[in-house]
Amino acid sequence: MLSISRKPFGERQIGLTARAGAGRLSRVSDPGFHRIRLTLHYDGRAFHGWQVQPEQRTVQGEVERVLSRLTNRETAVVGSGRTDRGVHATGQVAAADVPVRWTAHSLRRATNALLPDDVWVADAVLAPPYFHPRYDAASRSYVYRIGLAQHADSPFHAPWCWPLLRPMDLSAMEAAAEMIVGDHSFKAFAKSGQEERGDRCTITEARWAPWEGLGLEFHVTANRFLHHMVRYLVGTMVDVGLGERPADHVADLLENAPGLETSPPAPPEGLFLTAVAYPADAGTKPPKRRRLQLVE
C-alpha cells in the first residue's frame, strides 16, 4: 500500500496550496517538480460539484485522491472554476504540481486507470511555471441542453438534459439571447448573497441551436460567470419560449428593474462546461496582483 505524505504543501515551495480554497498557484520553484495542465470530462450526477467539501464526493476530491496516490504525497488540484452539484463538464481545466518523473502522457494514463468511471482526463500537457487555470482564463463556455422531442426522455438522454417535451418559440428565445451579449450587470441572474463577488460580466456569444433532433442547445461564452447565472438565464429564456413572459423582460432584468424577478433556474442536469480559453502566453510571466473571481 502506498503511503501519502502529509507534509504541508507550502514547505515544498511548489506554490500550490493543499486545500486550494483561495485557488492559489505561484511559480513552480522546486526543480524536482513541474506543473501539468489537465482537461477533464465528468458526469456530474453523482458529485456534489467540483470543489472539495467535507464528507461529500466531489470531482476535485477524486482527482486529488488519485494524484496523491500516484505521487505518494498530498497533491492539490486547482480548477478553472467551480461547477455545481449535478453539472457536467467536457472542458474543465485543472493544474497540479507533480514530480518530474511523471510526464504529462504517463500521468494521464495512470490517472485514468485509477479514476472512477464518471471522471476522465481527456488531455494532459506540461504547463508553464506560472500557469493558473482560474486567473489566466480569458473566457469560459457552457452549453445547456433542452429536450423537446419525446425520445429526449429516454434513459440514454434524459440524465444529461432538461427533458421539457413542450413546443417553444425559438425566435423569441433567440431575441432574448441577443439581449445578453455585451458587458452587463447580471445581478438579477445570480444566486442571492453573492454581492462581494461583483456582478458585471462580458458575454461574447449567446445563441440557441438545434440539438441533434432532440431539442435545443444554448451556447454561451463570457469572461466570467456568476453563481447559477447560466441556469437562471436559461430558465428565464425558456419561459419566454413558452410564452409565459415577454422577451423584453430579459433586457429589463439586465437593468435591474424593480419588482421584476427571473424565472426559477433550469435544472443542473442540462448544463455542461465545454471549454476554457487561455492566451497563448498564459503562465509564462509572473502574475500581476489579481482579484479573486469565482465562476459558475
Whole-number Å distance between alpha carbons of 239 and 258: 19
Q: How confident is the model at residue 194 (pLDDT cuts 50, 70, 90)?
A: low
Model pTM greater than 0.95? no
Could you tell me which residue, 39 or 193, shows the higher pLDDT?
39
Q: Are the folds of 9-136 and 139-274 the same?
A: yes
Q: Report residue 46: phi and psi, to 5°.
A: -100, 10
Q: Strand pairing of 215-222 and 162-163?
A: unpaired
C-alpha pair distances (Å), 89 with each of 8, 21, 61, 93, 175: 30, 21, 16, 10, 27
Residue 31 has pLDDT above 90, yes or no: no
For 114-132, what is each residue's pLDDT tens digit?
999 999 999 999 999 999 9
Q: How confident is the model at residue 109 (pLDDT cuts 50, 70, 90)?
A: very high
Residues known to be catalytic: 84
Whole-number Å distance between alpha carbons of 232 and 243: 17
The CATH classification number of 9-136 equals 3.30.70.580
Lowest mean pLDDT among 12-16, 83-87, 193-197, 266-270: 12-16
Domain boundaries, the chain: 9-136, 139-274
List the one residue out of 250, 14, 255 whose CA is nearest residue 130: 14
Whole-number Å distance between alpha carbons of 193 and 228: 12
| CATH fold for the domain made of 139-274 | Alpha-Beta Plaits (3.30.70)
Can you count the helices (H) and strands (E) in the chain?
A: 5, 10
